[in-house]
Structure 1
Amino acid sequence: MFTPSELLEINTLLTPENKIVILTHYNPDGDAVGSSLGLRHYLKAKGIDAEIVVPNDFPKFLKWMPESRKAIIGEYKRKVAFDIINEADVIFCLDFNSPSRIGILGDWLIHAKAKKILIDHHQQPEKFDFVYSDTVIPATCQMIYHFIEAMGDEKLVNKDIAECLYTGIMTDTGGFRFRSTSAATHRIIANLIEKGADPSFITSNTWDTNTVSRLHLLALVLARIEVVKDGKVAILSLTRNELKEYGFQKGDTEGFVNYGLSIMGVKMSAFFMEDLYEDFVKISFRSKDDMDVNQFSRKYFNGGGHINAAGGKSDESLQNTIETFKNRVEGEAL
């Protein structure tokens, strides 16, 4: 958490007169969107307006959250996004550890005159004016709750804040089943429910949103799932042509990688997908126990993330990327 003196200084910055902006990472997920909206609603409860700017669009299944459609999408409104960031007095940087993680917004953030406040749970954060970094906490949304507590404003947590923070914690913990989910996490979830978050409503709006095309894609993935390294590693994949054939939309493959971990004996799952428009392969890694996919991804696939959840990319073909992965994973202790 920020030091007491830092919290006092941040509090002096949070005024209706200052222009406050909230940024999050490229390809925003539930934790990125939930933490950004949760913080915005908290500031609103304090009588402070804040703009959310995201690098690119986020999945439809996250757009039920209150005021989610008010976020400025950088790739659609570049001039508007640039002006907002350039004129900001305070910029909250949520759920990313480096300007390189926010796409076209990165250079604008670096050159902005604003005070920059990082709240993030990824490893190896870069330098910001104020840094609250904790890699043990499973979701940035949980850190936003801790921040609100530290500011002495827990009483301001309302239904809108609760719904957004609950969503981010739920999605980033895989429905509260990842190892990083702590007793503190569950206590916060209980508090959010008391503040108005409805677990059934949130789960239904976030996860019970399958389209027929998404289920077709999932069927393809599951039909050819491959298990290697004596049954400890699962491999899933999709080609560009398959994505096109079934009308892929952003968010359709969310959670596919987790199916690999549901196989008995599997400790690591890797999902490979050709980008829809450019010649590279996006990779998602998940693991159990002490298998560190963050270090694995950093070492071999230009990526990173958390110990049990990380991402990477490859400029090789899909087939060559999978073969490279198989060779690399054979040398790892699982």
Structure 2
Amino acid sequence: MQEIAKLKEVLKAPQNIIITTHHKPDADALGSSLGLYNYLISKGHTVKVISPSDYPDFLKWMKGNSEVIVYDEEDGSKSKKLVEEADIIFCLDFSVLNRINGLGEYVREAKAVKVLIDHHRDPEAFADYGSHDIHSASTAQLVYKMIVSFGDKALITKDIAECFYAGIMTDTGSFKHPNTNKEVHEIVAQLIDLGADNSEVSRLIYDTNSLDRLKFLGFALSERLQVYPEYHAAFFAVSMEDLKKFNSKTGDTEGLVNYALSINGITMAALFTETEDGTKLSLRSIGDFEVNTLANQYFSGGGHKNAAGGKTDRNLSETVELFKKIIVKYNKELENKTPIESYDEF
């Protein structure tokens, strides 16, 4: 994989470009994608953003959102054709192709130049060019740095700056996670100088809830939160019936797991959400407890040390029982917040 700096030469002539990001895009995924989209459009390229799934309404204010193509798993012919005809494919905020569902095989087989920009661990070797840094707080940060390194900082408009700001803000937990270092603050200061309205971006993402979402939050906190202080763990277990009861849409469970992690004395928190074919989960931790390793070992997932996800074909109750065994088994690690050396099968 060649350094991203060498991509500048490839982009000198107009190209047919596809940008894609991971399943159920969050603010970093969509923000980095649409920030890059608007930049490349300004350079004279033909650009399409393809999302492998739908995404929350609270992200749809970003410039270019109306042009995003949502991949249809039942009929992917349009997306497949676009990928096949692309000169360059940017893959943002994911490290392995299975994170983009059926699009993954289209990208793998495409003749286009492939570019990976990401901050997750263990990248798959499919890209020709890349900027991969697990120490970066967000992918939006990496895309911003790429544009600046190309000498095009002046092309970053207010709209682009706000896309990047949204990605950095959310992936740092509003600048409270340990990944919020000096560079993060320097970059967001530059984005504000470039026109980003930090207060408005925060409002659009955090303060535009539907009434159903707030009612669901209250229900989850009162009826679905389980706390095990003796094991320094807490979790939510949400059924499909729960989601249906509150007319839940994509994004309505966003951030729920953090409420469990915010409880004093809790080191690891989880959100288990029932699906038609099993259970998906989000894991969060503090200190050196590595939930990405746990997600990989038990739940076919991965992510960052303190924030990871996964899925299983077990039903909701079976997944909860497995998690209970895990927290009992690793009680000392959770108590001491020390790195997990290994995970044995039960």
Q: Determine if the TM-score, normalized by the shorter chain, exceeds 0.5.
A: yes
SS of the residue 2:196 aligns to? coil
Residue of structure 1 in register with 2:342 after alignment: none
In the alignment, the residues of structure 2 paired with residue 187 and residue 17 of structure 1 have an alpha-carbon distance, to the nearest angstrom, of: 32
In the alignment, the residues of structure 2 paired with residue 133 and residue 330 of structure 1 have an alpha-carbon distance, to the nearest angstrom, of: 35
Residue 146 (structure 1) aligned with residue 148 (structure 2): no
Within-5 A mapping of 1:234-273:
234-273=234-273
Q: Which amino acid aligns with 2:187?
A: I
Q: Which amino acid aligns with 1:207?
A: Y
Cα distance, 1:258 vs structure 2: 0.5
1:120 and 1:143 in contact (8 A); partners too: yes
Cα distance, 1:219 vs structure 2: 1.4
Residue 119 (structure 1) aligned with residue 122 (structure 2): no
Q: Which amino acid aligns with 2:15?
A: N
- Report the number of matched residues: 329
Within-5 A mapping of 1:18-97:
18-75=15-72, 78-97=76-95
- The one-character-per-residue Cα deviations of 1:228-275 (angstroms, maximum 9, x if unpaired) are 251511111211111111111111110000001111111111011112
In the alignment, the residues of structure 2 paired with residue 331 and residue 2 of structure 1 have an alpha-carbon distance, to the nearest angstrom, of: 43
- The one-character-per-residue Cα deviations of 1:140-163 (angstroms, maximum 9, x if unpaired) are 000111111221212221111101
Q: Which amino acid aligns with 1:55?
A: P
Residue of structure 2 in register with 1:161 after alignment: 160
Residue 14 (structure 1) aligned with residue 11 (structure 2): yes
Residue of structure 2 in register with 1:198 after alignment: 197
Q: Which amino acid aligns with 1:64?
A: W
Using structure 1 for the length normalisation, give the TM-score: 0.95
2:28 and 2:167 in contact (8 A); partners too: yes
- The one-character-per-residue Cα deviations of 1:198-221 (angstroms, maximum 9, x if unpaired) are 111111111111112111211121
Structure 2 residues not aligned, in runs of 5+: 335-346
Residue of structure 1 in register with 2:98 after alignment: 100
- The one-character-per-residue Cα deviations of 1:100-127 (angstroms, maximum 9, x if unpaired) are 1101101100110001010000000011
The more displaced of 86-95 and 11-20 is 11-20
Q: Which amino acid aligns with 1:165?
A: F
Q: Which amino acid aligns with 2:82?
A: I
1:229 and 1:330 in contact (8 A); partners too: no
Residue of structure 1 in register with 2:338 after alignment: none
Using structure 2 for the length normalisation, give the TM-score: 0.92
Residue of structure 2 in register with 1:213 after alignment: 212
Cα distance, 1:226 vs structure 2: 1.6
2:229 and 2:265 in contact (8 A); partners too: no
Two-structure CA RMSD over aligned residues (Å): 1.5
In the alignment, the residues of structure 1 paired with residue 44 and residue 162 of structure 2 have an alpha-carbon distance, to the nearest angstrom, of: 20
Regions of 4+ moved over 4 Å:
none
Cα distance, 1:49 vs structure 2: 2.9
In the alignment, the residues of structure 2 paired with residue 253 and residue 2 of structure 1 have an alpha-carbon distance, to the nearest angstrom, of: 38
- The one-character-per-residue Cα deviations of 1:63-100 (angstroms, maximum 9, x if unpaired) are 01111121111117722211110000111110010111
1:89 and 1:115 in contact (8 A); partners too: yes
In the alignment, the residues of structure 1 paired with residue 18 and residue 298 of structure 2 have an alpha-carbon distance, to the nearest angstrom, of: 35
SS of the residue 1:131 aligns to? strand
Residue of structure 2 in register with 1:306 after alignment: 304
The more displaced of 76-85 and 180-189 is 76-85
- The one-character-per-residue Cα deviations of 1:153-180 (angstroms, maximum 9, x if unpaired) are 1222111110100011111111111111
In the alignment, the residues of structure 2 paired with residue 166 and residue 103 of structure 1 have an alpha-carbon distance, to the nearest angstrom, of: 27
2:14 and 2:44 in contact (8 A); partners too: no
Cα distance, 1:322 vs structure 2: 0.6
Q: Which amino acid aligns with 1:271?
A: L
2:19 and 2:92 in contact (8 A); partners too: yes
In the alignment, the residues of structure 1 paired with residue 182 and residue 172 of structure 2 have an alpha-carbon distance, to the nearest angstrom, of: 13
Q: Which amino acid aligns with 1:78?
A: G
In the alignment, the residues of structure 2 paired with residue 160 and residue 219 of structure 1 have an alpha-carbon distance, to the nearest angstrom, of: 34
Residue 330 (structure 1) aligned with residue 332 (structure 2): no
Quickly say closer, same or farther: Cα 1:144–1:200, change in 2 above 3 A: same
Identity %: 43
2:231 and 2:327 in contact (8 A); partners too: no
SS of the residue 2:14 aligns to? coil
Quickly say closer, same or farther: Cα 1:61–1:78, change in 2 above 3 A: same
1:96 and 1:120 in contact (8 A); partners too: yes
In the alignment, the residues of structure 1 paired with residue 159 and residue 78 of structure 2 have an alpha-carbon distance, to the nearest angstrom, of: 26
Cα distance, 1:23 vs structure 2: 0.9
